[in-house]
Structure 1
Amino acid sequence: MDPSCLKYALTEEERAAFNETGYLIVENALSQEQVAALTEETDRIYERKVQEGHDSKTALFHPNFIPDHDIFLNLVDYEKVLPKVWGILGWNIYLYHAHMIVTPPSLQPKSDKTFGWHQDSGRVNVEMETHPRPRLSLKVAYFLSDLSVPDRGNFWIVPGSHLNDSLPMPADRQGQPEGATPVCVKPGTAVFFDRRLWHTASPNWSDITRKVLFYGYGYRWIRTKDDMTVQSLWNRCDPIRKQMLGAGVNCNGYYSPTDADVPLRVWLNEHQK
């Protein structure tokens, strides 16, 4: 890893904003060239899925897309993003989940029905006996489409709700919870969000197709959330990227890591002042 990536390290202002609101927006994380290339590969995958039987009128949720092309693999330890991830979670981390979402126009009339609000991680939110719930992980969403205005299938959030174990919903299931707001961003934007942040997808009432790549980072002792087949990539990855893809010396190393388990820690000890 090139030490120049440290210029993208999490700032104290960013840390404070993330801790307070549960999310962080980084504009221009991807160049126009990166957005174009990622969009091309995303479109290729989408067309393949349609040919395999996916209904083109519905959103595509495609996990385990990292092995599909090296352009996705290269974002696993992306220099403009990973330093902020370890700045929030620390060095004992890896990519535990990744999914691509392509949301075509819904072709449905706009309504005020309450969206599907949730916190990530499923049973974790039932079985962990703490308040507030533990952070454990975060996601980075790379937006490839222009979602700078609402009604384009925008990701919605309630800022600051990551410290709340519940979120009151409208009794008649019409409208959104108090404080809810759409995330309106341009292509190339990266949005970091705490897994506990109450959030939701929304219908795409526009005439464009929404395309987003989600990279989920968590502690190495967390199980993968999809059937990731990234092990096939290990033999051509450098040590830090290999750590991000879940490699380790043995099972105990996920709980009590040695330097061989977490080369990111070794690298940080050498390069951070």
Structure 2
Amino acid sequence: MEPSSLQYALTEEERQTFNETGYLILENALSPEQVAALTKEVDHIFETKVKAGHDTTKALFHPNFIPDHQLFLDLLDYEKVLPKVWGILGWNIYLYHAHMIVTPPSGAEQNDKTFGWHQDSGRMNIEMESEPRPRMSLKVAYFLSDISEPGRGNFWIVPNSHLNNTMVRPESGIGQLEGAIPVCVKPGTAVFFDRRLWHAASPNWSDITRKVLFYGYGYRWIRTKDDMTVQDLYPKCDPIQRQLLGDGINCNGYYTPTDEEVPLKIWLKEHAPAQVGK
């Protein structure tokens, strides 16, 4: 982690936007060169899955992709993004979930069937008692394809819905939640969203294949959401990267960490003490 990353720290305007709407859009987070290189690796993975029998008319959900290539690992502590993540969640964080989605053209005609609206984290939304439920985690979605127009398998959201434990769904199964919008962005855009934000995938009715990488950051005491086989990466990682990949000394250290177990906190104490907090 270089001190130069602090120029990308979360601004107060960005904090207010995220807290009020539940999401934040960062245009040009990735350069065209980064988009091209990442797309090449995503295409390779998709082609491998197709050869193994994946149906090309359906979306590919591929978790645990970080070990697949160094480029994916490089985004773990990406200087334009991680400072905004710790600005929202603090320093006791790690990557608890990561998945790649490739959505080819469906070949189907566009319709108004209600999407699969949800908040992230499954039973957390049933078993938590508070109203609203706590944030707990967020995701960063890196878009590699051009979804600047609706109908391209866009990620749909309901802005400002993250403080609502429930939403009224159309009883007929036709139409979307009130206030729902498609996220329309250019390649290289990063979209941050609160896990509580009501959102949904949508069919790809276009002739463009949608490609996106999701990095889920949460508190270190949250269990992983998928079977992340990242331990073999530890030897080539620096201390902050190892923290972000879930490394620790013992189980209690995820709840009551010593400074040794959270090198991100130590780094912030040295370079940005005002951002350390509690």
| TM-score band, normalised by shorter chain | over 0.9
Aligned residue type for 1:214? F
In 1, the alpha carbon distance for the partners of 2:75 and 2:110 equals 35
Gaps of at least 5 residues in structure 1 are none
Q: Which residue of 2 is the match for residue 229 of structure 1?
A: 229
Q: How many residues align?
A: 273
Deviations along 1:169-227, whole A, 9 cap, x unmatched? 11211111110000000000000000000000000000010000000000000000000
Q: Find the residue that maps to 2:261 and give its secondary structure.
A: coil
Aligned-residue sequence identity (percent) comes to: 77
- 1:47 corresponds in structure 2 to 47
Q: Output aligned runs, 1:137-176, within 5 Å.
A: 137-176=137-176
**Deviation, structure 1 residue 260:** 1.1
Q: Residues of 2 paired with 1:200 and 1:56: CA distance?
A: 21
Q: 1:34 is aligned with what amino acid?
A: Q
- Note the 1:85-164 alignment, pairs <5 A: 85-164=85-164
**CA root-mean-square deviation:** 0.5
The separation in 1 between residues aligned to 2:155 and 2:240, in whole angstroms, is: 30
Deviating runs (4+, > 3 A) in structure 1? none
Displacement of 1:55 in angstroms is: 1.1
Q: How many Å separate the matches in 2 of 1:232 and 1:131? A: 40
Partner of 2:81: 81
Distance in 2 separating the partners of 1:174 and 1:54: 29
Task: State the TM-score, normalized to the length of structure 2.
Answer: 0.98
- Is 1:30 the counterpart of 2:20 in the alignment? no
Structure 2 partner of 1:267: 267
Q: Deviations over 1:239-269 (max 9, x none)?
A: 0011000001111100000111100000000
Q: Provide the rounded CA distance (Å) in 2 between the counterparts of 1:163 and 1:197.
A: 8
Secondary structure class of the residue paired with 2:192: strand
Q: Which letter maps to 1:3?
A: P
Mapped to 2, the partners of 1:92 and 1:272 lie a distance apart of: 15
Superposition deviation, residue 123 in structure 1: 0.3
Secondary structure in 2 aligned to 1:161? coil
Whether the aligned pair in 2 keeps the contact of 1:248 and 1:260 (CA below 8 Å) is no
Q: Which runs of 5+ in 2 are unaligned?
A: 274-278
Q: Secondary structure in 2 aligned to 1:162?
A: coil
